[in-house]
Amino acid sequence: MNKKYRKPVIAGNWKMNMLHSGTKDFMDELKPLLPKTRGCEVVLCVPSPLLYGMVKACRGTKVAVGAQDVSVHDKGAYTGEVSASMLKDLGVKYCIVGHSERRAYHGETDELVNAKTKKLLEAGITPIICVGETLEERERGLTMDLISLQVRGTLCGLTDAEVRRCVIAYEPVWAIGTGKTATAEQAQEVCEHIRSVVRKLYDAKTARSTVIQYGGSMNAKNAAELLACPDIDGGLIGGASLKPVDFSVIVNAACEEE
Ligand code: PGA
């Protein structure tokens, strides 16, 4: 992390877990464990039916609420979809786009992720844009080229000011939910590469202001080492965000790290 230029963002991704009826208890347990300082942003990205209750449960805390996906459409006959303005109206501050699970199970492309990113920015919601390679792509030596393509594709047409409002999450697909974390060196190498792609596409100021997270089996034990890397400005945390104690350890690691 480089706190001189960027405030770290620790975001939990609950995926399709937890229930609305459990959110208050979760927050009651988490609240006293959170640091008093404002050294980092804390976000919980929850399933759509939990958003309203979570916004209420997080009132008066430093935890912002995020969604996990958004529609590319503004409104109308799109059964099952949720628009950016609906999220905004609820008080949602962040939204994950292009998570590898959506890319794999719902055929999401960089083009679609780019369109969703634009909708979120228009609504004043911070997109958390996920990029990452599969194990096969890594083994074939394609990681850096693939990441460049994903970053270029998902940021296509955004102004430098808009990019500075985005969070980019590097999530190697082989590390997600597998317990197999990237080493700090591997994670740093790719996050540094993402920053260099942003620098080439925009400028040095934009590159050094953009928050780049690591995600993939980040947990209470390995968080401090990953967050100490100069280009890793936070984490996107799945499994470990379901347990208040584990999540709070990661948040505290980010807040303390200089
Ligand atoms: P994980 O998930 O921490 O459970 O690996 C991360 C993610 O998918 O965002």
Residue 26 located in a structural domain: no
**Cα distance between residue 207 and residue 232, in whole Å:** 13
Residue 2 located in a structural domain: no
**Cα distance between residue 215 and residue 132, in whole Å:** 9
Residue whose Cα lies nearest atom 7 of ligand 1: it is 238
**Under a CB-based contact definition with an 8 Å cutoff, are residues 187 and 179 in contact?**
no
From 237, 246, 247, mutation site for ligand 1 pocket: most ligand atoms within 8 A of C-beta: 237
pLDDT in single tens digits along all 258 residues of the chain:
888 899 999 999 999 999 999 999 999 999 999 998 778 999 999 999 999 999 999 999 999 999 999 999 999 999 999 999 999 999 999 999 999 999 999 999 999 999 999 999 999 999 999 999 999 999 999 999 999 999 999 999 999 999 999 999 999 999 998 888 889 999 999 999 999 999 999 999 999 999 999 999 999 999 999 999 999 999 999 999 999 999 999 999 998 755
Total domains in the fold of the chain:
1
- CATH number at 229 reads 3.20.20.70
Residue 1 located in a structural domain: no
Question: Residues with beta carbon inside 6 Å of ligand 1?
Answer: 13, 171, 176-177, 215-218, 236-240
Amino acid 256: pLDDT: 78
Residue whose Cα lies nearest atom 3 of ligand 1: it is 238
Per the structure, the complete domain to which residue 160 belongs is given by 9-17+41-75+82-256
Residue type for 213, please? Q
